[in-house]
Structure 1
């Protein structure tokens, strides 16, 4: 997509009429991403931490791995946070330099880590077993270490990943064991990484983690970076709380400068936002198939389900739902459900403009962990994706067909 070369542009707001036009043009269900919102969030992050001399923002691509989204971030100057070797390969295809990609896997085999060495990307290891195996294979190599700070943070238990019983990271109580492995293998530490969870609204959890990282890193000479991960909460509805980015930046910047002064070297400060950068850029459009009344509930059944948009069912997350076909309709209560043959709810007992069969509903905050977590459950096709760039719409993923469902099936004769 040569047309998607990055240039500065005026902010484009995605209006209701535009969304309806795109639904008619591409069909539903449909994901739509606004590149201007992505750019705005990226600049907001850069500006918030402008006081840091060596700031690196790595987009956490697991949030949305469409190749064109990755290209857009590469053109913005972002680095890339990856958690699988496939994400590493996508990043390379998108044009990222290997050293601007950090690979932070969890519970992968040593074979996958070896592949990342072949690709030349930076590596964060998060368990002692793989660290020791890696050191035996690659003595004198430099790696990063993901620390588990034993902090319970995040919007819910499923997205809290820094507590004492989490599978992520090397416990900071295991630092002596880690040092022994380093002595035995000759491995060198180039940085320390931490990520405690997602949807963190209280900045005290970031500051608690920062204190642990600084205390740990000060004992290791010649590190190049400290990586705070991310987890910033974004708003999902009107007047919703969000992470106080400015308050956080003031505190972190001051403490980071003090650390660099005490450390005697100006190192890089890395953040790895995903949801913060792309959640609000996304819109998910669905058609209403049927209005169904029961003794106590009015259901609006749509042409999608948790196979396309799993967050409400998986995380019990709230996503604003609007009837863009009938914006002035009388407000009524609906439970918006999908067409999957299980309990499949997008929103329970929501106050929405009157919904009629054939209407188009817009589900917001659909840019992060939505398409990337989709599936073919019930043998349903995954939807198309569209990127709005400079006011123009570009199809960046085709809607699947039966051929896509069948392409890897090996049929045997019986």
Structure 2
């Protein structure tokens, strides 16, 4: 969705204001053309003999999005057994799903074994239990490189205090478990967190992982995770994928030559693939002026889009109803009985009650983190694909709030 001739357009010239009228507000919209663009950009950035992109589906698991990922050659990165089952339902083959849980018990891993997916283990206790029960089942190991990466401490996962991964300093213990139970280690994995901007930091982590891989003689793949930064302010500040692709491709190719085998280079992009493809539309309920602020209060809140409150995440906000109006300063807030502020002191086209506001970069971790807080309904989702809009999730109703509750005769 970009500004053209005073009008915001989705691919195929689909008018978002018409979608708002047809499907109601609040509303999530996803543009498949942008998803495909991001997949192609990622694939084109790297030049190695074998590469696989596994979509980190926790970003957005609508079944239609998963089907598009499969259609366009993606594998799947799943962090729960439910995501594994969603992937299988969407048509992914078990061999194309990598299950990377955190702090789950052996019971859930046993389910994954039955389903036949690839398994990634990130702690010594479970690795030992897994080896005792399933010594013949190949397994990947998630390592923690002790590198602080990314622009937000809440989503950095490779530092020394992180709960994710087995410490790189515990390699001797890993080897003891592997040798004791005769485990086949088919892959190594690292993921240091999101919002990685500095190519050199990523290459530093790559060196750690590749050096470690030399100690495992029967690998099939090496998974470098993801965490690539997208531009939230349309300022072009993002991971330079093309530069990273050139440097990491050279490094990986040299490693494979020395290793004596062409391993598969694996990534698990989520936000990079779907963030820019998503838009969240809301209606302005009230414009409220106080002694210090002009608030634009919308028909949504942290129940629908919690990232600004949870991560201090920035989402560009535009007024679709008045794209050419004079600029004024607003603080955009929600209708939840909490301090649910979307953006402070935003310079925007003048807002009137009833206007439709658009939150950009709403494809990743937005609908997925929504809730029924304040007993509010979750919004509908629409997919724009091949120039046409398709409803892919219905707006919730009162029966959805009551579903699953057991009402006693009190």
Aligned to 2:104: 108
Aligned to 1:5: none
Aligned residues: 402
- The answer as to 2:367 corresponding to 1:371 is yes
Aligned to 1:254: 250
Distance 1:335 1:16 in 2: 30
Return the offset for 1:13: 3.9
Aligned to 1:335: 331
Distance 2:14 2:141 in 1: 49
Is the 2:321–2:357 contact (alpha carbons within 8 Å) kept by the matching residues of 1?
Answer: yes
Aligned to 1:164: 160
Query: Unpaired segments of 5 or more residues in structure 2?
Result: 1-8
Return the offset for 1:183: 1.2
- Residue in structure 2 matching 1:28, options 25, 28, 39: 25
Distance 1:265 1:104 in 2: 25
Distance 1:239 1:72 in 2: 28
Distance 1:193 1:182 in 2: 16
Aligned to 1:316: 312
Distance 2:13 2:201 in 1: 38
Return the offset for 1:141: 2.1
Residues 139-179 of structure 1: per-residue CA shift (max 9 Å, x gap): 13210000100000112110000001100000110000000
Aligned to 1:6: none
- Residue in structure 2 matching 1:154, options 141, 150, 155: 150
- The answer as to 2:162 corresponding to 1:204 is no
- Residue in structure 2 matching 1:42, options 13, 36, 39: 39
Distance 2:234 2:166 in 1: 38
Residues 338-375 of structure 1: per-residue CA shift (max 9 Å, x gap): 00001001111100000000000000000000000100
Q: Once structures 1 and 2 are overlaid, which stretch shifts more, 15-24 or 312-321? A: 15-24
Is the 1:143–1:190 contact (alpha carbons within 8 Å) kept by the matching residues of 2?
Answer: yes
Return the offset for 1:205: 1.6
Distance 1:286 1:168 in 2: 36
Q: CA RMSD in A?
A: 1.0
- The answer as to 2:278 corresponding to 1:282 is yes
Is the 1:16–1:324 contact (alpha carbons within 8 Å) kept by the matching residues of 2?
Answer: no
Is the 2:45–2:245 contact (alpha carbons within 8 Å) kept by the matching residues of 1?
Answer: yes
Write the mapping of 1:216-235 to structure 2, written as runs, cut at 5 A.
Answer: 216-235=212-231
Distance 1:119 1:112 in 2: 11
- The answer as to 2:55 corresponding to 1:59 is yes
Residues 110-149 of structure 1: per-residue CA shift (max 9 Å, x gap): 1001100011000010000000000000113210000100
TM-score (norm 1): 0.96
TM-score (norm 2): 0.97
Distance 1:253 1:359 in 2: 48
Distance 2:405 2:143 in 1: 41
Structure 2 residue matching 1:262: 3-state secondary structure = helix
Query: Unpaired segments of 5 or more residues in structure 1?
Result: 1-11
Distance 1:219 1:17 in 2: 53
Distance 1:37 1:17 in 2: 14
Return the offset for 1:238: 2.6
Residues 289-324 of structure 1: per-residue CA shift (max 9 Å, x gap): 000011010000000001100010000011000001
- Residue in structure 2 matching 1:305, options 301, 305, 329: 301
Structure 1 residue matching 2:15: 3-state secondary structure = helix
